[in-house]
């Protein structure tokens, strides 16, 4: 199984050249074995799954209940929605978008935790 580190390292280097952090389209996933080169290299199945897992892992780190649930839900729904994509360029762009979203999420986890209120949300306190 190909280590997923390689894909993420490439993406990290590419992030440095991005100028304005405008938000990106909804997260997406795809299944592709095509090796067609576009601006971002075509992702493998392993890379896609790694992105999916990273997004879910990042979601759990948010200190805010609503944001945490949203990131988790949106990731799952977004990947499910784009599961059937077959056109290589759209797959590659969707993957790039997903990676950018991951970077945004990682930064925001830090920001939210710096200012987390001491009292928890009512939804997190008692059950039912």
Partner 1 sequence: MASAKHLSVLRRALPAGRLLSTAAASAAPLPVEDAAEDVISMKGVRISGRPLYLDMQATTPVDPRVLDAMLPFYLSRFGNPHSRTHLYGWESDAAVEAARSQVAALVGANPKEIFFTSGATESNNISVKGVMHFYRDKKRHVVTTQTEHKCVLDSCRHLQQEGFEVTYLPVGPDGLVDLDRLAAAIRPGTGLVSVMAVNNEIGVVQPLEEIGRICKEKGVPFHTDAAQALGKIPIDVEKMGIGLMSLSGHKIYGPKGVGALYLRRRPRIRVEPQMSGGGQERGIRSGTVPTPLVVGMGAACEIATKEMDYDGRRIAALQERLLNGIRSRLDGVVINGSVEHRYPGNLNLSFAYVEGESLLMGLKEVAVSSGSACTSASLEPSYVLRALGVDEDMAHTSIRFGIGRFTTEAEIDRAIELTVKQVEKLREMSPLYEMVKEGIDLKSIQWAQH
List of residues contacting partner 1 (CB under 8 A): 20-26, 61, 66-67, 69-71, 73-74, 77, 101, 104-108, 110-115, 117-126
Nearer to partner 1, 39 or 127 (CB): 127
CB 106 → partner 1: shortest distance, Å? Answer: 6
CB 128 → partner 1: shortest distance, Å? Answer: 8
**CA-CA distance, 78 to 52, in Å (whole number)?**
10
Q: What angle do CA 17, 3, 38 make, to 5 degrees?
A: 40
CB 88: neighbour CB atoms within 10 A? 17
Nearer to partner 1, 49 or 104 (CB): 104
CB 44 → partner 1: shortest distance, Å? Answer: 24
**Pick from 103, 128, 83, 91: nearest CA to 21:** 103
Nearer to partner 1, 14 or 61 (CB): 61
CB 73 → partner 1: shortest distance, Å? Answer: 8
Q: Which residues contact 30 (CB under 8 A, 6 or more apart)?
A: 43, 48, 82, 83, 85, 86, 90, 91, 94, 95
Extract the tokens encoding 125: 């306190």
Nearer to partner 1, 84 or 117 (CB): 117
């Amino acid at each position: 199984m190909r280590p997923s580190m390689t894909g993420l390292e490439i993406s990290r280097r590419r992030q440095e050249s991005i100028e304005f952090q405008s938000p990106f389209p909804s997260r997406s996933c795809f299944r592709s074995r095509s090796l067609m080169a576009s601006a971002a290299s075509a992702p493998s199945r392993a890379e896609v799954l790694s992105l999916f897992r990273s997004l879910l892992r990042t979601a759990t780190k948010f200190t805010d209940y609503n944001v945490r649930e949203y990131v988790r839900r949106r990731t799952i729904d977004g990947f499910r929605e784009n599961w059937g994509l077959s056109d290589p360029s759209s797959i590659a762009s969707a993957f790039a978008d997903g990676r950018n979203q991951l970077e945004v999420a990682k930064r925001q986890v830090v920001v939210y935790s710096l200012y987390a209120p001491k009292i928890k949300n009512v939804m997190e306190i008692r059950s039912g």
